[in-house]
Amino acid sequence: MAEYVRVSERLALPRDLDVPITGSAQRQDEYRVHVCQDEAKAVELLRAEIGGRRVALITDDLVGVLHGKRLADRLAGVGLDVSMTSFPAGEASKNLGTAAELLDWLAGTELARRDVVLAVGGGVVIDTVGWVSSTYMRGVPYINVPTTLLAHVDAALGGKVAVDHPSAKNLLGAFYQPVAVVSNVGYLSTLADRDLRAGLAEAIKKGVIASPELFELIESRHRNILAADPAVTARLVHAASLIKCRLIADDPYEHDLRRPLNFGHTIGHAVETVAGYGHVLHGEAVAFGMACAARIAERRGLLDPTLRRRLTGLLREVGLPVTHDDLPASLDPDGTVTALGQIRKIRGGRIRFVLPVELGETVIADDVTDDEIRAALTALPPGGSDD
């Protein structure tokens, strides 16, 4: 006998057609962030999060060789139906062309709307695959499996997904939360030194804006972190993940752009755009952006010179750029200021700078001038030294 679900709706229609109709929609996303130290545990966690659904695993060509194919095989080995594809590694692939190719690939799979996409890789993979997931079938669930330190502590969290446009980084994007994050710090053992340092920039940022304890952990244990010590990196990733989740909870869709998490990013994004995507790593650009913001804060009398030197000293100690000469690509100050003008257009005519005051305390300034920015980009702080 057929079973039916009976639905009854008897709505009264208004007589006054001049009264506007109110449409509403509410959505609350919640997801678990798991931190583990080896792939066996990661597979166990992924199996539990995926359930019996089909899996489309997307990675880049480099991570595919290092981890992706093996992870796909292990997931298939525990009974999951897994399809896999990859695209060329690097920021240059984070574009509409790559996204379109991935959408075409998904359309050729048997993935249904309640199945799961796995984004396995660094920030480029996670940003791109997250955005593709947000558009395919008006949104399919996805799980982030970060493989770089930058992705572990930042990109995998918060649901900001996007691809780049020639005029601005992350111009084409959405807010679309993952259904889970599985952070296996064991993957960091295959990461290049430069990428580890770049990832550490985002963790240092979180220490400056929200946690003196995290900042001090990095000061005391950065050598262990850069050696990919799994016990120390697990502690770092767990702390950074907690901080980011707490900070975005009150405003996950950035209705208020006055967000401490943007510390270092205002100038950092402009530097990436001007240098050409991929020539300066995101973490390197953020480190330089933090140093510039600290100079602006010091010149305004907001930041004690001792703390500014402590921040730039840590950035230097872990091998990150704090002056324009430290950047791996030449910097055009005027071009950078012009790129900031594009950001100003996107943000309603204002650029908001996050300026550090103390560890765990910042101010948001929307009156930073182009002259202040140029001075921060090209000059050393008062006294002429960053030491």
Q: Catalytic annotation on 244?
A: yes
Q: Catalytic annotation on 205?
A: no
CA nearest 339: which of 387, 267, 288?
267
Q: Catalytic annotation on 213?
A: no
Instruction: For residues 105 and 235, give the distance between their C-alpha atoms in angstroms, rounded to a whole number.
Output: 37
Measure the N-to-C terminal CA separation of the chain; round to a whole number of Å: 81
Strand partners, 86: 59
pLDDT of 383: 52
3-state helix, strand, coil in the chain (%, to 5): 50, 15, 35
- What count of Cα atoms within 13 Å lies in the side-chain half-sphere of residue 170? 21
Among the options 6, 10, 27, 138, which is catalytic? 138
Instruction: For residues 141 and 133, give the distance between their C-alpha atoms in angstroms, rounded to a whole number.
Output: 7
Instruction: For residues 260 and 240, give the distance between their C-alpha atoms in angstroms, rounded to a whole number.
Output: 14
Instruction: For residues 92 and 365, give the distance between their C-alpha atoms in angstroms, rounded to a whole number.
Output: 32
Under 8 Å between Cβ of 145 and 154:
no
Structure tokens at 89: 């590694």
Q: Catalytic annotation on 269?
A: yes
pLDDT of 259: 84
Instruction: For residues 61 and 214, give the distance between their C-alpha atoms in angstroms, rounded to a whole number.
Output: 33
Among the options 169, 197, 222, 244, which is catalytic? 244
pLDDT of 345: 52
Q: Catalytic annotation on 279?
A: no
CA nearest 169: which of 102, 252, 267?
267
CA dihedral angle for residue 46, residue 47, residue 49, residue 55, rounded to 10 degrees: 80
Among the options 34, 94, 170, 202, which is catalytic? 202
Instruction: For residues 207 and 216, give the distance between their C-alpha atoms in angstroms, rounded to a whole number.
Output: 8
Instruction: For residues 146 and 328, give the distance between their C-alpha atoms in angstroms, rounded to a whole number.
Output: 25
pLDDT of 343: 64
Which DSSP symbol is given to 277?
B
Q: Which residues of the chain have pLDDT under 70?
A: 257-258, 342-349, 380-387
Q: Catalytic annotation on 238?
A: no
pLDDT of 161: 97
Instruction: For residues 136 and 147, give the distance between their C-alpha atoms in angstroms, rounded to a whole number.
Output: 24
Give the chain's domains with CATH numbers: 32-191 (3.40.50.1970), 194-378 (1.20.1090.10)
- Total-model pTM: 0.89
Which DSSP symbol is given to 316?
H
Q: Catalytic annotation on 138?
A: yes
For the stretch 138-170, pLDDT in tens is 999 999 999 999 999 999 999 999 999 988 788
- Whose tokens are 């030449």? That residue is 330
Start-end of H helices in the chain: 39-50, 61-63, 69-77, 96-107, 123-135, 149-150, 193-210, 212-226, 230-249, 265-275, 282-299, 305-317, 333-346, 370-378
Secondary structure (3-state) at 229:
coil
Among the options 222, 262, 308, 316, which is catalytic? 262
**Amino acid symbol at 354:** V
Among the options 152, 265, 308, 316, which is catalytic? 265
Query: Rg of the chain over CA atoms, in angstroms?
Result: 22
Among the options 47, 54, 238, 258, which is catalytic? 258
Provide the b/e sequence for 91-115 (b: ≥16 CB within 10 Å).
bebbbeebbeebeebbeeeebeeeb
Q: Catalytic annotation on 282?
A: yes
User: Residues, the chain, total?
Assistant: 387
pLDDT of 278: 77
CA nearest 356: which of 276, 271, 291?
291
For the stretch 248-295, pLDDT in tens is 988 888 777 568 999 999 999 899 888 887 789 999 999 999 999 999
Among the options 67, 206, 222, 269, which is catalytic? 269
Among the options 160, 197, 206, 324, which is catalytic? 160
Among the options 39, 44, 101, 254, which is catalytic? 254
In sequence order, the 6+-apart residues with CB closer than 8 A to the CB of 230 are 37, 38, 185, 186, 188, 189
pLDDT of 334: 86
pLDDT of 335: 87
Instruction: For residues 383 and 161, give the distance between their C-alpha atoms in angstroms, rounded to a whole number.
Output: 41
pLDDT of 348: 58
Strand partners, 363: 355
